[in-house]
Structure 1
Amino acid sequence: MVMLLRSCCRVLLPHIVTCRNHHVSAKGKRCLLSRLYQPRSLWEVKASETEAKPNEPTSKSQKLMIKAGLIRPSSPGCFHYLPFTVRAMEKLIRLIDKEMQDIGGQKIDMPTLSSAALWRQSGRWDLMGKELFRLMDRHNQEYCLGPTHEEAVTHLVASEGGINNKELPLLLYQITRKFRDEQRPCFGLLRGREFYMKDMYTFDISDESAYETYRNVCDAYTNIFRALGVRFVKVQADTGNIGGKMSHEFHLPANIGEDRLLVCGSCDFSANVELLQHNEKNCPVCTGQLKETKGIEIGHTFYLGTKYSHVFKATCYDSQKTPFIAEMGCYGIGVSRLLAASLEVLSKEDDIHWPGLIAPYQVCLISPKKGSKESEAITISETLYDEIIQSVPWLRDETVLDDRSYLTIGKRVKEAHMTGYPYIIVVGKKALETPSLFEVRSHNTDEVHFFSREGVIDFLQRVKVI
């Protein structure tokens, strides 16, 4: 799916993390790769040292992200997110923010420590069992590290006296770290104990308005996944220990996926296998044949009804100040999982392919090796870099100059492919010809072109982000 031309980039990219001052050379505004923290210690080690331990499942995205210096393991199910990944994550968060706020979402930030009293009040303290990270403070007060915040947000709204009609529908969301004590964390960021999640909680005065809110959020999710250019499927799902009246999941089809999905080949029906009889082979809507596939869950929506609002007495008031128990919904996107899952389905075994919109940097310009025949073109590289960021404003904080001139061009091109820059520009011996020619590689399409200086600028001005 080709999405979002350069005009859209002007909306999103200016808000994205930029090349900070400590990345910038003393000569000016060049973002130099030699200054960026991207540990490559595993790129040349024996394969056995990067493989998972016996009986520990791994994934393509996990291997690639470790090898490319994007993440580092800290403890089982927990990872250090290194600078390139943080840039991609913040771009993804900006995209999610935009879609959530376009439907009226208001961003908040709730405490990670969640009181056991609230979870006991809802009945989930025991229901969630060993999935909760539990702890006790010096005053013998019990807490958990929040895996989700239905109790906290409903208690917040109820304690403020409810919601008046002018505030309806109320859509509150956050994007924060969450914690679940996974018995067997695996696949890197796809199933961990500590992860980033976008969780939204909605409050409506009636079934009708709550269903409309539900549809709006599902549409926003569709916009997000389409903007990333990934193939996804929306399926009916079990409400599980979250509870409620209705639930859907969003999945990226992948062989490594841990969910089994049944998709009808004749109509739009699709469901998680948990929702149907295990031996069911025909669609319950049109009797067409159901085909089983695997998926990585990246989003989940729930229509909760009054499950939590009744317990915590969260009310809405109409224009006559008549109170109604709020109809609620909750909606999650696994942000760090979505990032890794997109790499899982888009990448090749040996190099990363990012969704264009969230690639850490869009362009990598590779200068010649010092001491080589084309080393005279090093200054040409710097000049071309300056011309790119001056002529293509949206690439100003999206272009990296690989100034590691002690390495061969070939080695740096290989690393650039591994890192997944959408566009790689090589300044080689043709740069010394008249007129100068530069090799431009489109990583996601495997196309290679040779352009003049003006041709490079023209090409980048017409770039599409997919």
Structure 2
Amino acid sequence: MSIGGRHCLSKIFQPITIISKKSNLTRQDVTSKSQRLMLDLGFIQQASPGCFHFLPLGLKSLNKLIKIVDDEMFKICGQKVLFPGLTNDKLWKNSGRLNEPVAELFQVKDRHHQNYILSPTHEEAATDLLSSVSPISYKYFPLRLYQISSKFRDEMKPRFGLMRGREFVMKDMYTFDVDVESAKKTYEEVCESYNRVFDRIGIEYVKVLGSSGTMGGTMSHEYQFKASIGEDRILCCRNCNYSANIELCGEHNCPNCGEGSNINLQTGIEVGHTFFLGDKYSKPLGAVCSSTNCKSEVLQMGSYGLGLSRILAAAVEVLSSETEMKWPDALAPYNVIILPPKKGSKEEPQTKNVAETLYTKLEEVIPSLRGNVLLDDRTSLTIGRRFLDAKRTGYHHIVIINKKTTETPSFYELNDTAMNRQLILSEEELIDYIKQNTVF
């Protein structure tokens, strides 16, 4: 992947194939353009129905998203932990959730006949952790614990690739406060941090009232990307800016202001969900704190999820065409790709080391580009073929070294795929353009 400190395309494991014979995946099973593009272009590969390998380019995008989330969690004093994937089902029985019908729950039994759950979420596990060290002094609160890990859901019919799978990557946070007022303040702070996460991603989103469902609690909000393939229907009132999942209200009138003529119905992909839980889990599982007068008080909780693997797929779904992948700059595996001349061409001997020099200069002058420049060193292929590959993969800035680079003064061809624009620029102009037109 790296040659002489540079990221080189020839070394990246990117199997560009339509369908893997081993996966038993047929074209009829590929039900969204994001799934098709991510498979075809070697970002993911299906391991089994609803489960996917993240290949190097896909994982690089996922790690960029994780970095954004970690940054924003740090700002609100979130502390990163890692809970076990297996949760003893006794905890779910004690919280009452196992008494409710949960069709999509993976349950397993070990050799000692103990029952466990492959956790889709960790409210019980987080609460049990606090309970095991309770009572904790009120001085330690608010406490905000989060993790990023694989979760599991026994989907009857997995679909849309990473958007609805059986195993998925999620960021989940569990907050604990000494009273309801403090917990509500925490809820607002976490929601504001989620706003910043989605602002940094750079895709239009909407925050709507949602159903608490089997999770419970008294308040819930969903973060949605607007998309025609979305499985959620969203009601938005242009009169009072009220918005909610349609399952909470009717389709004809705004439940907030009663207006009917300014109602807008849209479909969306849920990419985040927040819940104000109160004492739903802390009370039955015994998570308490020691108050100022040394009395035990039941902790107030919040639960907050971001579907990270789903966000990646939803971003591709929203931005891409049917044939070309597009990424927001913040999540693109690489922001710039450089194409040197074909081996044996007239331009090759006259532009020796030009691509490597430009690569180094871009990373030096624009620090945010470090690790985000890619050299397409497959010089046995024509410039045209490599350009089509780069465009289809969704690289924002495609720099071509050609005949104009051999002239005096020398120029570079820059293709801005986001703006569908081709420019001929000097080196200084090229660097300045990329700096001004990339959102890091």
Is the alpha carbon distance of 1:221 and 1:185 closer, same or farther for their aligned partners in structure 2, counting shifts above 3 Å? same
Counterpart check, 1:24 vs 2:2: yes
Amino acid of the structure 2 residue aligned with 1:432 = T
User: Number of paired residues?
Assistant: 435
- Partner deviation per Cα, 1:8-42 (whole Å, 9 max, x = no partner): xxxxxxxxxxxxxxx222xx222211111111233
Deviates more, 1:326-335 or 1:372-381: 372-381
- Partner deviation per Cα, 1:202-261 (whole Å, 9 max, x = no partner): 111111111111111111111111111111111111110101111111111111000111
Whole-angstrom CA distance in 2 between matches of 1:58 and 1:102:
38
Partner SS state of residue 371, structure 1: coil
Q: Which residue of 391, 414, 433 corresponds with 1:459?
A: 433
Q: Which position in structure 1 is the counterpart of 2:420?
A: 446
Cα distance, 1:401 vs structure 2: 0.8
Counterparts of residues 45-444 of structure 1 (less than 5 Å): 52-54=26-28, 56=29, 58-277=31-250, 280-289=251-260, 290-376=263-349, 377-444=351-418
Is the alpha carbon distance of 1:241 and 1:134 closer, same or farther for their aligned partners in structure 2, counting shifts above 3 Å? same
Whole-angstrom CA distance in 2 between matches of 1:404 and 1:227:
33
Verify the 8 A CA contact 1:50 1:63 in the aligned structure 2: no
Amino acid of the structure 1 residue aligned with 2:259 = G
Deviates more, 1:415-424 or 1:175-184: 415-424
Q: Which residue of 21, 31, 34 corresponds with 2:10?
A: 34
Is the alpha carbon distance of 1:236 and 1:258 closer, same or farther for their aligned partners in structure 2, counting shifts above 3 Å? same
Whole-angstrom CA distance in 1 between matches of 2:69 and 2:233:
26
Cα distance, 1:463 vs structure 2: 4.1
Q: Which runs of 5+ in 1 are unaligned?
A: 1-22
- Partner deviation per Cα, 1:280-334 (whole Å, 9 max, x = no partner): 4111211223222111000111111111011011112223322211111101010
Verify the 8 A CA contact 2:249 2:255 in the aligned structure 1: no
Sequence identity of aligned pairs in percent?
A: 46
Amino acid of the structure 2 residue aligned with 1:438 = Y
Verify the 8 A CA contact 1:128 1:241 in the aligned structure 2: no
Verify the 8 A CA contact 1:52 1:58 in the aligned structure 2: no
Whole-angstrom CA distance in 1 between matches of 2:370 and 2:172:
32
- Partner deviation per Cα, 1:160-212 (whole Å, 9 max, x = no partner): 01332221111111110000001111000010000001111111111111111
Verify the 8 A CA contact 1:42 1:50 in the aligned structure 2: no
Cα distance, 1:128 vs structure 2: 4.7
Amino acid of the structure 1 residue aligned with 2:18 = L
Whole-angstrom CA distance in 1 between matches of 2:136 and 2:38:
44
Structure of greater relative contact order (alpha carbons < 8 Å, 6+ residues apart): 1
- Partner deviation per Cα, 1:86-125 (whole Å, 9 max, x = no partner): 1111110111111112112111000001101111111222
Cα distance, 1:452 vs structure 2: 1.6
Q: Which runs of 5+ in 2 are unaligned?
A: none
Alignment RMSD: 1.9
Cα distance, 1:57 vs structure 2: 5.7
